[in-house]
Amino acid sequence: MDTLRVRLSGRRDARRSGAAMLGCSLAGAVLLVCAPPLRAQQPAAASKPPPSARAQEPFDPTGYWVSLITQNWQYRMVVPGRGEYADIPMNAQAKKTADAWRSAADIAAGKQCEAYGAAALMRNPERLHVSWQDDQTLRVDIDEGMQTRLLHFKAAASGTPPAASLQGYSRAHWILDTTVNTFGASLPGAVGHPPYGSLRVDTNDLLPGLLRKNGVPYGADTTMSEYWDLRTLSPTQQWLTVSTKVEDPEYLFEPYVYDSIFQKEPDGSKWDPSPCSLTS
Amino acid sequence: MKNHSLVLATLGCSAGLMYAAAAPAQVDLSGQWVLESTQDAVKYDEGPLTDMFAGIPLNAQGQQAGITYPGDEGQELNRQCQPWPTHYLLMGPWGGRFAAVRDDQGQLVAWSLSSPAYDRLPITIWMDGRPAPSPLSLHTFGGFNRGRWEGSTLVVSTSMLKDAYLERNGLPSSNRETDTFFFTRHGDEMTLMAVIKDPVYLQTPWVLARTLKLLSEGSVVNDPILYCMPAEVLAGFTDGYHSAIELPPREAQQAAFMLKRYDLPPMATLGGARTMYPEFAKQLDRVYRIPTAYCSLYCTADGHLLPQGPRQIQSR
């Protein structure tokens, strides 16, 4: 701030002839100097609660979305045969487990939903219904397998770790585009509602499950990270890409990375809930 | 006086902040980006399966062109060095190197996106808002590419492409194809999505996505292809079924081939827009049976592709 005062005091003689013009012309130069003090002066504002995740959303993820199966078709649209493990970086232990796996045994044990865990869920042919459960929680319902994912923008109050589950526990936050510039440096926060950004989701506390319906496993230590991005060509041409990285020290020798595409639908008329299945 | 300085400072800061909010958030994309997605690794590496077009919204003309593709066409001398058009960014095993092209004032004029392989030519993505050339101008494999920022996403519109291939198994693309690419950088990763439109061969847009990873400075790309390969023959094309003199197969013959090779009916393997949607999986349930024989084609146990010949040899 001292630097700013020195610069401004050096121009006092010109203030009567064009103070406003001077302010404007200095705007760009002053920006980098004054931004940190402005941030430092914010304690008064800090008493206000931060905006909710819903209020901050850089794009509207809500509504109905249908998956487009344009990649990896033969492993997603139909149940592949035994040994069809292409495209998954599975290790020898995973191959041994998958080779020994039989769907009949798991069906008899009522474990049909093991292929609908978070690590593989977004790969299935399905529809999503995305809605805000509350201002800090995004709810993603999936018709195929009738699963629900909850994306928590605010950590649970309790210090107790959540129990492991099929969909695990997902922490989410928005990445607002106004925080970067050409060279990756921080810019001051934008005024008003930021128009662009991504959603980052990190998931753990997963129960073991299947990456593919022919028995390719993932273990209890699996973690998953996702980037959700909205792509728009026109109001009726919108897609959501969900780029997923699955890491599993037990069964994968490197991260399993895949990209799922969802196309926006005008309504829920094609919503078709159906139970989990290991044979279709 | 003190108050006046404060007013000036406030004015300046406000203007600056407004400028920051209005300015497009450009991101530095420079560097060598390589493929990180493992999905479709077989397709990227060994090539797509013969006559397998499921999930591609082909129209009838595209389907016919696909199934009559002579598998040894790639060996013809005039095709041995034929480059791929820009959509190969989504289908090839390569990423690319982004390099900023700046004018003498340091302003970004374009991004150059080159490939470590000879078969996709460098692409120039113009960022200076220049108008598109006349539709009668020369069409190239690199096309005419205009970029703009939507937040930190680089959106690239591509046109003026040459007739080429959509896929390595012979699906064609026309010189009326237009593409839109979305590059979104997430730290050292980048999500790339493309919307491919071709009124000649596609019913609806074909949408694809993949994740790229930034190589650290000084790293080298594995196995760059810097020279022209004498031929490209996919595994399935050596079965005697496809040859340069093969006439379009009869419907029954084609159906038998599909069932032998993929356990799938032609309604699936011929592609079309409906094959992209979940309801098509339910239609298939009535006719598809999970193969009982252990995989013998493009099975991978440890991340390495192990093509062992067409499945038909062992499973049928």
Is beta strand B164-165 parallel, antiparallel or unpaired with respect to B172-173? antiparallel
The verdict on A22 touching B (C-beta cutoff 8 Å) is: yes
For residue B52, the number of C-alpha atoms closer than 13 Å in the C-beta half-sphere is: 22
The verdict on B156 touching A (C-beta cutoff 8 Å) is: no
The verdict on B44 touching A (C-beta cutoff 8 Å) is: no
Over residues B280-288, mean pLDDT: 91
- Most confidently predicted of A10-24, B66-80, B119-133: B119-133
Average pLDDT, chain A: 82
- The ipTM (two decimal places) reads 0.84
> Tokens 């999936």 map to which residue?
A142
- Non-local (6+) Cβ contacts of A13 within 8 A are none
Q: Which residue has the higher pLDDT, A61 or B65?
A: A61
Between CA A87 and CA A93, with CA A90 as vertex, the angle to 5 degrees is: 155
pLDDT of A30 strictly over 70: no
Over residues A73-99, mean pLDDT: 93
**Stretch (H or E) spanning A209:** strand A209-210
Q: Which residue has the higher pLDDT, A223 or B295?
A: A223
Q: What is the pLDDT of residue B301?
A: 43
pLDDT of B44 strictly over 90: no
pLDDT of B147 strictly over 60: yes
Structure tokens, A95 = 């191959």
Amino acid present at A164: A
Q: What is the pLDDT of residue B250?
A: 64
Q: What is the pLDDT of residue A31?
A: 38
Q: What pairs with residue A171 in β-bridges?
A: A152, A202
Q: What is the pLDDT of residue B241?
A: 52
Reported as a single tens digit per residue, the pLDDT across B98-132 is 999 999 999 899 999 998 877 788 899 999 999 99
Using the Cα atoms of residue A9, residue A14, residue A18 and residue A24 in order, give the sign of their dihedral. Answer: negative
The rounded distance, in Å, linking the Cα atoms of A145 and A273 is 7
SS (H, E, C) B174-205: CCCCEEEEEEEEECCEEEEEEEEECCCCECCC
Give which of B76, B4, B82 is closest to A16, Cα–Cα: B4
The rounded distance, in Å, linking the Cα atoms of B132 and B218 is 36
Percent of chain B with pLDDT over 90: 43
Reported as a single tens digit per residue, the pLDDT across A200-245 is 999 999 999 999 999 999 999 999 999 999 999 999 999 999 999 9
Percent of chain A with pLDDT over 70: 76
Of chain A residues 99-138, which have a CB less than 8 A from chain B? Answer: 125-127
> Tokens 């005419």 map to which residue?
B144
CB burial readout A212-233, b (16+ within 10 A) else e: bbbbbbbbeebbbbbbbbbbee
Q: What is the pLDDT of residue B244?
A: 46
Task: Categorize the per-residue pLDDT at B46 as very low, low, confident or very high, splitting at 50, 70 and 90.
Answer: confident
Q: What is the pLDDT of residue A40?
A: 39
Q: What is the pLDDT of residue B94?
A: 80
Q: What is the pLDDT of residue B16?
A: 41
Domain segments of chain B as ranges: 31-214, 251-315
pLDDT of B303 strictly over 80: no
Structure tokens, B284 = 């298939």
Q: Which residue has the higher pLDDT, A93 or A38?
A: A93
Q: What is the pLDDT of residue B151?
A: 86
Reported as a single tens digit per residue, the pLDDT across B187-210 is 999 999 999 999 999 999 999 999
The verdict on A185 touching B (C-beta cutoff 8 Å) is: no
Q: Which residue has the higher pLDDT, B182 or B150?
A: B182
Give which of B258, B267, B237, B240 is closest to B312, Cα–Cα: B258
Q: Which residue has the higher pLDDT, A22 or B91?
A: B91
**What 3-state DSSP class applies to B137?**
coil
CB A246 within 8 A of CB A204: no
Interface test with A, best of B10, B17, B202 (most A CBs within 10 A): B17
Residue A61 burial by Cβ neighbours in a 10 Å radius (0-12, 13-18, 19+): buried
Average pLDDT, chain B: 80
Over residues B64-90, mean pLDDT: 80
Nearest residue of A to residue B149 by CA position?
Answer: A196
Least confident of A41-55, A142-156, B34-48: A41-55
Reported as a single tens digit per residue, the pLDDT across B205-251 is 999 999 999 998 777 776 667 777 655 556 555 555 555 445 556 66
CB B17 within 8 A of CB A42: no
Reported as a single tens digit per residue, the pLDDT across A140-199 is 999 999 999 999 999 777 677 789 999 999 999 999 876 444 433 334 344 444 578 999
Q: Using CB atoms, which residue from A8, A12, A84 is nearest to B9?
A: A8
Reported as a single tens digit per residue, the pLDDT across B255-269 is 776 677 678 888 899
Q: What is the pLDDT of residue B229?
A: 65
B306/chain A closest Cα distance in angstroms: 9
Q: What is the pLDDT of residue A156?
A: 73
Interface touch B281/A125, C-beta < 8 Å: yes
Q: Using CB atoms, which residue from A9, A58, A70 is nearest to B208?
A: A70
pLDDT of A137 strictly over 50: yes
Least confident of A123-127, A154-158, A174-178, B33-37: A154-158
Interface touch A229/B191, C-beta < 8 Å: yes
pLDDT of B84 strictly over 50: yes
The rounded distance, in Å, linking the Cα atoms of A167 and B235 is 39
Question: What pTM value is reported for the model?
Answer: 0.83
